[in-house]
Amino acid sequence: DGGITQSPKYLFRKEGQNVTLSCEQNLNHDAMYWYRQDPGQGLRLIYYSQIVNDFQKGDIAEGYSVSREKKESFPLTVTSAQKNPTAFYLCASSPNRADGANVLTFGAGSRLTVL
Amino acid sequence: GENVEQHPSTLSVQEGDSAVIKCTYSDSASNYFPWYKQELGKGPQLIIDIRSNVGEKKDQRIAVTLNKTAKHFSLHITETQPEDSAVYFCAGDSNYQLIWGAGTKLIIKP
């Protein structure tokens, strides 16, 4: 079955540690996204990539880093510079449509808790 | 840039009744307005979308209406069922990205 796989589902980290969240898709989508979700707020875009070896900052990129070395993979690193990293992280992918009507397919999410 | 506001934040309806969630947007250049449903512990999933050249779209018990002049669009769910309980997000496109509303938690009372 085609879809997006995020791992781990739950992750605990001590302050000062970097952590990497995995996101893999087998939908052959060009574009991939990372969102952060906090209670009572909409999805906030961290980073996105429209093509391999290229990515752009979203609205809240500070304290995060990404790479896009392969079309199917878009890992997110939460660095120690991120002041409030405890959140639910969602990865998504979509075809690249010129008209902007991109239907996003989401993974099941990764919940990061900083102790 | 685009700003999307969504109301209400929580909506409780009796099973079998209708539910309506409303969103407003600010960017008159936005052309695409999807609605996503997020069940507990899962990622959001597209349930219906509408383009700016259409005023209404239906899919079984779900419908979306768009008023471009007033810059608002709404999700209508009729004959609500327990499986409709979830968080619903609206969004509008801006510069090939989606700008999201804050979400509405829909509770279906038995």
CA distances from B88 to A50, A73, B21, B76 (A): 26, 28, 8, 11
Write the pLDDT tens digit of every residue in A63-75. 999 999 999 999 9
pLDDT of A2 strictly over 80? no
- The type of residue at B28 is S
Chain A interface test: which of B25, B35, B97, B99 (most A C-beta within 10 Å) = B97
Q: Specify whether the CB–CB gap between B86 and B62 falls below 8 A.
A: no
Write the pLDDT tens digit of every residue in B33-77. 999 999 998 999 999 999 988 899 999 999 999 999 999 999 999
Write the pLDDT tens digit of every residue in A7-28. 999 999 998 899 999 999 999 9
Residue count (chain B): 110
pLDDT confidence bin for A1, thresholds 50/70/90:
low
What is the Cα Rg of chain A in Å?
Answer: 13
Please provide the average confidence, as pLDDT, over all residues in chain B: 94
Does the beta-carbon distance from B44 to A90 stay under 8 Å?
Answer: yes
Given this model, what pLDDT does residue B8 score? 97
d(CA A17, nearest CA chain B) in Å: 25
Given this model, what pLDDT does residue B106 score? 98
Q: Which residue of A has its CA nearest to B47?
A: A103
